[in-house]
Structure 1
Amino acid sequence: MSARSNLSVAQGAALSVGAVLGTGLISLPALAAEAAGPASLVAWLTLIVLSAPLAWTFAALGARYPDGGGVSTYAQMAFGRRVAAVVGWCFYFAVPLGAPVAVGFTGGYVSDILGGGRLTELAAFLAIVGTAYAMNWFGLRVSGRVQLALSISLATLLVVTVVAALPHADLANLTPFTPHGWTGIGAAAALLVWGFAGWEALSSLSGEYRDPRRDVPRATLIAVAVVGVLYLAVATVSVLALGPALAGSRAPLADLLAIGLGGPVRIVTAIMAVVLTLGAVNAYFAGASRLGAALAAEGSLPARVFGTQRRSLTFILLGSIVAVLLPLELHTAALLVTGCFTLVYVIGTAAALRLLPAGWSRVVAGIAFVAVTGLLWLNGWPALLSLVIAGGAVLYQAVSGRGRARPSPVSAPAAPEMACEESSA
C-alpha cells in the first residue's frame, strides 16, 4: 500500500480536530462574551450545530472526489478556474490579515504576565512572526507529528481548565442573559467562525485515507463530536465561572486555571499559548507561501511579486506587519479574516450542490450553504473585504489574461501537508 493511502480513521479524525481546534479558543470565549454576554453560549451552540452539515459536506466531496486540492478543486470543477482563483486569493490574503489576530490572542497572555500592554503585545507579535518567517526562509519545518502534538496539548489544556474551574461555576452568572440584546448573538456567531475554520481540511485530507468513501464519514463524525464537546465545555465553564469578568479578560484560560488551581498557572498558560501560536503561524506561513507561488505560476497572481516561495513569504510578512499597525480592534480584525473564510465556505457548499448527486448529501450541502450564507451576512461590513478580494481575483485574471487551466489544483494552506507527513509514518 502506498504511503499516500495510509491514513486511518483515528489519524484522520485527530488531524481534522487539529485543523479546527486552533489557537483562537484561548481568547474567543472572552470576545464572544463581550459581544453577547452569557447569550454567547447560544452562538457557540449554533456554530457547533451548523458545523456538522458543513463538515459533512466537505467530507462528502472528499469521499466522492479524493484530491489534495480541496475547495479549490471543487470550485474549479463546478464553476471554472476564475472562481477557483477566488478561493486561492481568499485563503492567501487571509493569512497576513490573520497572523496579527492569532498573535494578538497570545499577546494578551504574555502581557498578563509581563505587563506593558500594547508594547508587550507588539513585541510578542514581532518575535513569533519573525521566528516563523526565518524558519520558512531557511526551510525549517514543524513536522506533522509536532503539529498534532501541539493540538493534543491544547485539547489537554482545555480539559484540565474545564475540570479545574467547574467547581466555581455559578448559575447566577447567566443573568442578565442578553445584556446587549439578542442581536449580540449574531455578532458573536460571526466572530466564532474563527474557531471553526478548518473543516475544509476534511476534503483536502480525503486522498490520504485507505478507503475514502468509508473512512472520511467516520473520521468526520468523530472530529465534529470532539470539537463540539470541547468548545461548548470551555465556553460554558468560562461564562459560569468568570461571570461579567469574562468579557474584559485578555487571558480567559489563565483566569479559569487561576481560580481552579492557583499557583503559577498564568506562566504555564502563557508559555503554552506562545508555543501553540508559533506552531500555527509557522504552518500557515509555510502553506500560504507555497499557495502564493502556485497562484503566480498559474497566472492568478503577478509572478514578479509572488513568483517564488520566498517572495510570497516576504509579502506575507510585510502584509502582517502592516495589518498589525492598523488601528483596528481585535474583534474587528478577526471579523475581516472570518469573512474570507466564510466566503470560501459559501463557494465550497455551492460547488457541492452542483457536484454531489441527488440525495441526502445534497440536502445536507443545501443546509450548509444556507447557514454559511447567513453567517456571511452576520459578519457585517467586514465581509465586504472578502468580496473585494474576490473581485480582485476575477479582475486580475480578466485584465492580465494569463489565467490558465491548472495542472494541479492549489490547496488550502497547511492541512494537506500535515496529512502527508503523518500518513507516511
Structure 2
Amino acid sequence: MSINLNTKKLNTFTLSGLIIGPILGSGIILLPPLIYNMVGSFSLVIWGTILILGFIFALIFGKLAILFPGEGGVSLATKEAMGKKYQLLTSFYLICAVFFGPVAVLIIAAKFIQNLFPDVSIELLAFFIYIITYLFLRSKVNFIGKIMLIVSSTITILFLLSSIVVLSNVETYTFSLPTLSFNEFGYALLVVFWSIVGWEVIGNYSKEVEDTKTLTKSIIFSATIISIVYIFLTLAITLGEFPKDEEFKLVWLIEPLFGRYASFILAVISVILCIGTLILFVGAVSRLVASLKLTSYTSAHSSNNVPVGALNVLSSLYIITLFLVYLDYITLDELVAYSDAFFIANALIGLVTAIILFEKGFLRTASIALSLVFFSILIFSNIIILSVIFILFILVFLKK
C-alpha cells in the first residue's frame, strides 16, 4: 500500500498517526506506573480487561462513524436512533468531559517538564503548552496527521524497544497476584478507562478521510498497535527487575537505553504525547460544537476548514479552568475523575445507539455487554458528578 502524503484527506497511515499518538497520549506515561503502584501485579489483569474492552469499543464506534459520517461524529447516529434531544445530551456529556480532560492533560505535561523550568508555575507552563497546541489546531488536519504519524511511530518504537530490553535482561521471571477487593478492582478500572478514551471522537473526523475503508483499517491497525504497546509496557513494569520497596517511576523503563538522558527524553515524549492527545480531543469536540450550529460564531470555519469559532470558545474555557487550578479550587485528580465520568456517560449513550441501530450480530451483543460493564465502572465515580450526569439525563428525558 502506498502512502500519498500530498492528499488533502487523511489516508490510513495519517489517520492512524492522528489516532495512535493521541490515544496513547497522557495515558501511556501516567497510567501504567500509577496502576502498578495501586494494585501491583494485578495490573496485568486490569490491563488485559480494559484492552479487550477498548478494542471492541473501537470497532463499535468505528462502525457508527461509517454509518453516519460528519463533524457531529457518533452524535449523528444518536440523533437517528433516539432523536435530537439525545444527540444534544451525548454532545453535552462529551463537551463536559473535554471541559475537564484537556486541562488535566496540560497539567500532566507541565509536571514532566517542570524540572526544566523550575521558576515557572505548573499552570503557566500548561498555558504555554496549550498555545503551541492551539497553533497546531489552526493547521490543516492532514498536516497534523502527517506530523503525528512520524511522532506516533517514533514513540511507539521507543517504548516497545525499552520494554523488550527490560524483559530480555530479567534473569528469573517471578509473578504472583495480590489479593484485591471488589472496590479496588472497580476503582482501578475507572482510572484505567482513561487509556481507551478517544475512540468515541474518531467519528468527528470522518469527513476528513478518503473513504470508509480508510476509517475501518485505521481503527483496527491503531487498536492493535496501542494494545501491543500497553501489553509490553505492563509486562516490563510487572516482571522487570526494578526496586520493589518504592513507587515505580516510568523513567526507569527507558534508562537501560538512554542512561542519564532518560529523564530529558521522557519529558520531551510526555509533552509531545500530551499535545497529540489535545489535538485529537479538542479538534474533535470543536467540530462537534460547530456541527450543533448553536450560534453563527461557534459554527464558523476558517479558510482551511478549521472550526475556529468553537475552538476559540473551548480555548477560553480551558484558560478559565487552568486559573481555577491555579487558585486550588480544583485538583488534577478531580479533573481526571470528572472527565472520565462524563466520557463514560457519553460512551453509554453511544452504546445504546449501537444496540438500537445494529442488527443481530457480534457488535450488537458486544454493545449490550459493554453497556453493562461501563455502567458498572461509572458507579465508582464522584457522587457530585454522577448527580450532574443524572440530572442532565432527567431534564432531557422530560423535555418534549
Both structures adopt the same fold (TM-score exceeding 0.5): yes
Q: Secondary structure at the match of 1:297?
A: coil
Structure 1 pair 287/8, CA: closer, same or farther in 2 (3 Å)?
A: closer
For 1:23-422, what aligned pairs fall within 5 Å after superposition? 23-111=26-114, 121-132=122-133, 135=135, 139=138, 143-169=144-170, 174-175=175-176, 177-178=177-178, 181=181, 183-206=183-206, 212=212, 216-241=215-240, 243=242, 248-249=247-248, 252-282=249-279, 284-289=281-286, 291-292=288-289, 295=292, 297=294, 309-323=311-325, 325-326=327-328, 330-377=332-379, 380-382=380-382, 384-385=384-385, 388-389=388-389, 391-392=391-392, 395=395
What whole-Å deviation, never above 9, does each CA across 1:285-318 have from its counterpart, x for those lacking one? 444455445546269x9xxxx9765344312321
Give the structure 1 partner of residue 305 of structure 2.
Answer: none
How far off is 1:36 after superposition? 1.6
Aligned mates of 2:225, 2:310 — CA distance in 1: 38
Aligned mates of 1:182, 1:393 — CA distance in 2: 28
Whether contact under 8 Å (2:193, 2:340) holds in the other structure is yes
| CA root-mean-square deviation | 3.8
Aligned mates of 2:317, 2:10 — CA distance in 1: 34
What whole-Å deviation, never above 9, does each CA across 1:21-51 have from its counterpart, x for those lacking one? 2222111112212322221221111001111
What whole-Å deviation, never above 9, does each CA across 1:157-212 have from its counterpart, x for those lacking one? 3123213322444767745x326645433222111111111122444455555553
TM-score (norm 2): 0.80
Structure 2 residue ranges without an equivalent (≥5): 1-5, 299-307
Structure 1 pair 56/274, CA: closer, same or farther in 2 (3 Å)?
A: closer
Structure 1 residue ranges without an equivalent (≥5): 402-425
Moved more, 8-17 or 184-193: 8-17
TM-score (norm 1): 0.76
Whether contact under 8 Å (1:191, 1:335) holds in the other structure is yes
What whole-Å deviation, never above 9, does each CA across 1:84-113 have from its counterpart, x for those lacking one? 112222222222312332133323422456
Paired-residue identity, % = 20
Q: Counterpart amino acid of 1:80?
A: G
Whether contact under 8 Å (1:31, 1:247) holds in the other structure is no
Give the structure 2 partner of residue 408 of structure 1.
Answer: none
Structure 1 pair 100/220, CA: closer, same or farther in 2 (3 Å)?
A: closer
Q: Secondary structure at the match of 2:260?
A: coil
Structure 1 pair 261/13, CA: closer, same or farther in 2 (3 Å)?
A: closer
Aligned mates of 2:220, 2:107 — CA distance in 1: 32
Whether contact under 8 Å (2:41, 2:175) holds in the other structure is yes
Q: Secondary structure at the match of 1:262?
A: helix
Give the structure 1 partner of residue 302 of structure 2.
Answer: none
Structure 1 pair 68/99, CA: closer, same or farther in 2 (3 Å)?
A: closer
What whole-Å deviation, never above 9, does each CA across 1:201-259 have from its counterpart, x for those lacking one? 444455555553x555444332222111111111221222265669735xx33221124
Aligned mates of 1:70, 1:308 — CA distance in 2: 15
How far off is 1:365 after superposition? 2.0
How far off is 1:393 after superposition? 7.8
What whole-Å deviation, never above 9, does each CA across 1:130-163 have from its counterpart, x for those lacking one? 4445x389x4567232233332233133123213
Q: Counterpart amino acid of 2:269?
A: M
Aligned mates of 1:310, 1:136 — CA distance in 2: 13
Aligned mates of 2:397, 2:310 — CA distance in 1: 19
Aligned mates of 1:291, 1:74 — CA distance in 2: 13
Structure 1 pair 312/74, CA: closer, same or farther in 2 (3 Å)?
A: same
